[in-house]
Amino acid sequence: MIRHGETAWNAERRMQGQIDVRLNANGHRQAQAMAEAVAHEPFAAIYSSSLGRAVETAEAAAQRLHLPVVLRPELCERNYGIFQNNTVKELAARYPEAYVKHVSRDPEYDYEGGESLRVFAMRVEAGLNLLSRQHPDEQVLIVTHGGVLDIVYRLATGRGFSEPRDFSIPNAALNWLDQIDGIWRLELWADTEHLTRDSALDEVK
């Protein structure tokens, strides 16, 4: 599983959510480096969030692997409602009460019309389990977002959804997971050896 390459909003630490922001020049370089890193892996399929930054990243790998990119909306980033299009600094000033709920990872807060953490986690888990059932004993490449990978890490490690994040989710890093008997297991997380420069800051941490 791979987080999309860097966007200008990542670099600004501006909340993207489901706003369709495209890769910047560094993001395209990261996507190409990722594609080189996975070029000889025996993937059966490539799946991507339907948001442009993920699709662009997935397409870089698709060109090397000679596989189509299949879009799956359940792999899209969380809908952050009123937080979208705000930087981290702006959020604390404009929505102080909501920001407290955000930082504490309130499982029921939905950002006034977005997705609550509980609903988002259910969406992600159901989508991944469906893909796993469709590909028994096969390896697939999934390109998605920081919020989705946050949920995936917790599913694979047993860490509670509301506990603070103490792990990184770099742009275009390689995250290897396995599912055995319905249980997700972490094999390797946040591998950035293929990248030549530091990844963007994680704007949703």
The sign of the CA dihedral 70, 10, 201, 77 is negative
Amino acid identity of 38? V
| Catalytic, out of 77, 102, 115, 203 | 77
Phi, psi of 23 (to 5 degrees): -65, 150
Q: Supply 189's token pair.
A: 């997380």
For residue 77, indicate whether it is catalytic: yes
For residue 145, indicate whether it is catalytic: no
Using CA atoms in the order 41, 70, 3, 177, what is the torsion angle rounded to 10 degrees?
A: -50
Q: Cite the active site residues.
A: 4, 77
